[in-house]
Structures are given as structure tokens and as C-alpha cells.
Amino acid sequence: MPDVRDSFSGVAANYSRSTFHASSERLQEVLDLAQPKRGDLALDVATGTGNTAFALAPYVRRVVGLDLTRQMLDVARRIAAERKIVNADWVIGDAGRLPFQDETFDLYVVRAAPHHFPDIDAFLREAHRVLKPDRDAAFVDCAPPVPARDLLHEVEVRRDPSHIMSLTVEEWVARLERAGFEVEMAEARELDWDYEGWMDNQAVASELRAELAAVIEAAAGEARDQLHPERREGKLWHGYWHCLIRAHKKA
């Protein structure tokens, strides 16, 4: 029987090279949103292989990358050593039950992960709890509009069974305000999405990726207008969205 740990380690390596997760353009978006300060102690939740933590590290006093999976953090540690990044720490932990005291961090960041979290409200309460008063949090995640979100949900859960649900920007704002945050900025940006690269991140088998491509290409009505799938030189491209949200914890 194949070792599941080997499979997961392969996925971790894929994420460390993923265009969305590792590209300089996407990481600059996070820096522009988070506005890190030199003296900050920053927390990067669901850090994965550390891409966001590495982007923050040159601009903060120290960054803590937290993730549930040891294999992801093993990759992050290796990359940190290779790049000689010395102000990053790596902690195993759950976004919904953070292993930190109240009001510990100057900056809270989470990117491309909340759609995996089983309890969004608990995760946001924890974000608010560990953040110091009068400081900020940055949230970046997939945020397709309805009805495209509902169609993509089938694709998401079959591509990656750990997917729970993507929130729309409006849903994000409502949840953040319920958790006690003041939302300073909230917008969704549409991306020109490389379907094959997306499937590669999870090492999706060829038969399943063909089935899921068919789901997207069969979209009708408003969902099709939103996704506008098309083939370019045989490869599928379609619309995809991520939200950029900056929220403030009142003093």
C-alpha cells in the first residue's frame, strides 16, 4: 500500500511551487493588504509551506507560521534554512483553537485556507482573540460569486475532499463583523484561472480532472457568464475569484 505521508509530502512540494501560492504578484497583494511594520510580531495561519510567512519576514520583527500538518511545516523549515530566513518560527496548531495567549500578535494573516476550515466563526473569534487591540488582520481566500460558487463547490470537494465552503465577500464581511472586527476593505478580484495548474496542486488523476473540467465547461446561464470557460491551445481556462479583506480590531 502506498505511504499516505509520501503522497502528502508530494502535495506539500506542489504548493511550495504553486503559481497562486508562490508568485511574487500574489504575495505582493498580501503585503499591500497587510501593511506589515518593522516591529510587528506576525502570525501566518495555515501557512502551508510558508510562502506568506516568507513574504512577511523581511518586513516584521518575527513571523510565526502555523499549520495543522507537519509535512507542510517540514517543507517550510527546509526552505527557510535554504534562504537563511532566521526570524520565522513554525508551530503546529488549529486555526480554530490557536495555541497562543490573548492579544499576542501585532498582525494576523491567513491566505488561501479558510475554505478548508470546518468552523468559520470559531476561526474568526480566535483571530480576534490573539490580535492586539488597535491592530489589523488580513484575509485572502477564494470567494466566487453565486451561482458560480455553487457550481465550483462540486469541483472543489471532488478535487480536494478537505474543501468545506468558499464564502462570498458579503458573507465574509458579515462573519467578520459578528466576530468583532471592523472591516476596512473587502473586495473580490477575478483571476484568469489555469485549470490544469489548479489540478496539479493536488496531483489530481487524469480521469477525474477530465470529469471536473466537463463540469465547468457544462456551466449554463449566469454561472457560465461568470466562469466564461474557454480552451486555449487545448488547455482549459476559466474565471476564479479571491477576496482581499483588511479588518481592524478596535482599541
CA angle 43-76-129, nearest 5°? 15
Answer whether 104's CB lies under 8 Å from 91's CB: no
* Segments of 37-93 assigned E as strands: 41-45, 62-67, 88-92
Answer whether 62's CB lies under 8 Å from 85's CB: no
**Is domain 4-143+162-191+242-249 given the CATH code 3.40.50.150 in the classification?**
yes
- Please give the helix or strand (H or E) that residue 105 lies within, else none: strand 105-111
Reduced DSSP (H G I as helix, E B as strand, rest coil) percent helix, strand, coil of the chain, to 5:
45, 25, 25
Query: Could you say which DSSP state residue 167 is in?
Result: P
Distance CA 227, CA 250 (A): 38
Measure the N-to-C terminal CA separation of the chain; round to a whole number of Å: 54
Distance CA 101, CA 2 (A): 40
pLDDT in tens, the chain (251 residues): 333 334 344 444 444 454 545 678 999 999 999 999 999 999 999 999 999 999 999 999 999 999 999 999 999 999 999 999 999 999 999 999 999 999 999 999 999 999 999 999 999 999 999 999 999 999 999 999 999 999 999 999 999 999 999 999 999 999 999 999 999 999 999 999 999 999 998 999 999 999 999 999 999 999 999 999 999 999 999 999 999 999 999 99
